[in-house]
Structures are given as structure tokens and as C-alpha cells.
Amino acid sequence: MRKLIITEGLPCSGKSTTAKYIADTLDMKFIDEGSGDHPADYEFHAFISSKQLSDLKADEQTAVASCSEKKADGFIVPLEKFSGELFDKLLHYKIYDFLPWGTEKPLMLDKWREFTEKALSSPDGYVFNCVFLQNPMCETMMRFGFDTAASQKYIKEIYDIIRPLEPFVVYLKTDNIAAEIKKAVPERGEEWLTGVIDYHCGGEYGKSLDLSGFDGYISALEERQRRELDILRKLGIDNIVIDDIKSYSTEAYSEIISKLL
């Protein structure tokens, strides 16, 4: 039984809408990105080692330990539970933003293992909006500047973990990336656009190519999509690639569902 379907693609490609449609049609559990307590991802969490925790004030140590999950030699900290000075301190250990790769990678793989074990014993099937390709690529490629082979190796490790769930990837390919991003700005806002430009141009990948501004952001997305499709082909995971789904969504949805039944 297929228990995990994942929609992937670039920002504004239609991932969340497609994932919700699949979940509703197949009576599966829809998990959106940024939805809070994600079963396979750390969305707004920090990881602080036991040594780093000991550097905090005694009352801060107690506060952190009391509402965090013990993990390896440290704690997974839900940042939304904190504010003020302690929040500012913990933010420096935020997963996806500040942890070194050697610390972050095993934490993320353990999270995927936990999800897979729970999913195998659950009657539910899951539809994820991204996290399988997008999040790993944003980290390995954009933030750390790793090459495609390194990204593929990490994503393959995730695939090996979730393989018992018979995962299926629906990849939404975007042909005119700049146009789709521009269409989304009125809804998402200029602050969102500034943030994604800064992230993609300011990481190791962007800096290595001296990328800047909107054009630099689009260039990074174009290369990310090229790499993701290359990795998807080589992984061997069941998948379907849909070109510009927004232009023929009804037919595309039917094609997707027919592949999943």
C-alpha cells in the first residue's frame, strides 16, 4: 500500500494546491509546509547540545529542558514556546539556518526514521507538500553550496528510509519561472520576495556565482530545478513530472490520480 505521496517543485508551482487535491481525492492526510508540528520535518525548531545548554542561566536551562525533546547529545527545542532574551539565544541554534551540516544532517535523518516507523503502524496515508527535494536542496545547494552529487547522496539516504512507505513524487515543473514568481508577489508580498532573494543569493551557492537581485534569484531557481529533475531521474523513486500544471490543471489532476490508483 502506498502511504506517502510528495508534491515537489519550485516556489509558486502549485505544490500545495495539488497536494491538497490528491489528499482529498484519495482520502489521505494532507501535510503542508509551515503547518506547525510536521511529522517528518523541523519547521521552527532549534537544536542545542548539552554543552551549549549548560552555558545558559540555570532558570533558562530548566525552561528549555522542560518543554524540549531529548535527542542525541542535546535537545530539540520548539522555538514558538519562547520569547524575549531566551528566544534570541535559542534562535542561534535554529535548524535550517545556523547549525553546521554535520550536526543538522543526522537530526533530519532521524526525524525521517521516526516518521516512517509511525506511518508504517498507522492506518493513515500522507500527502506532503515538498520537504523531500525542496528542503534538502535549499540546504545542500543554496545554503552550503554542495554539488549535485552531494545533494543526491543525502536525498538518497532519505529515500532509503522512506522506501517501505512506497513513496511517490509528483514533480511540478515550471517553464517560465520568472513569470510565476512575479504573479505571486501581489499575494505573498514584497517582504517575501526580498527574503527569498536574500536567501538564494546570500548563501554559499549564490555567493560563489556572485548572484544578486531578482535575476540572481531566478538563476538559482533555474539551476535548482535542473538539479532536482536530474536527481529524481537517478533515484529510481516512482514519480510523475507535470509541466506547467496551472495551464491545464483538470487534465493534469486526472493524470496524476490515474498514476496513483
Task: Tell whether 65 is covered by a domain.
Answer: no
Task: Tell whether 193 is covered by a domain.
Answer: yes
Domain range enclosing 130: 4-40+126-260
Q: What angle do CA 90, 96, 97 make, to 5 degrees?
A: 60
The stretch 185-197 carries a mean pLDDT of 97
Task: Tell whether 178 is covered by a domain.
Answer: yes
The stretch 186-200 carries a mean pLDDT of 97
Task: Tell whether 231 is covered by a domain.
Answer: yes
DSSP 141: I
Task: Tell whether 143 is covered by a domain.
Answer: yes
Task: Tell whether 55 is covered by a domain.
Answer: no
Read off the pLDDT of residues 66-124 as tens digits, 9 standing for 90 and up: 999 999 899 999 999 999 999 999 999 999 999 999 999 999 999 999 999 999 999 99
The verdict on pTM exceeding 0.75 is yes
Task: Tell whether 31 is covered by a domain.
Answer: yes
What kind and span of H or E run contains 59?
helix 58-66
State the CATH number of the domain containing residue 180. 3.40.50
Residue 1: pLDDT band with limits 50, 70, 90: confident
Read off the pLDDT of residues 229-252 as tens digits, 9 standing for 90 and up: 999 999 999 999 999 898 878 899
Read off the pLDDT of residues 54-63 as tens digits, 9 standing for 90 and up: 999 999 999 9
CA dist., res. 9 & res. 241, Å (int) = 9
Number of domains composing the chain: 1
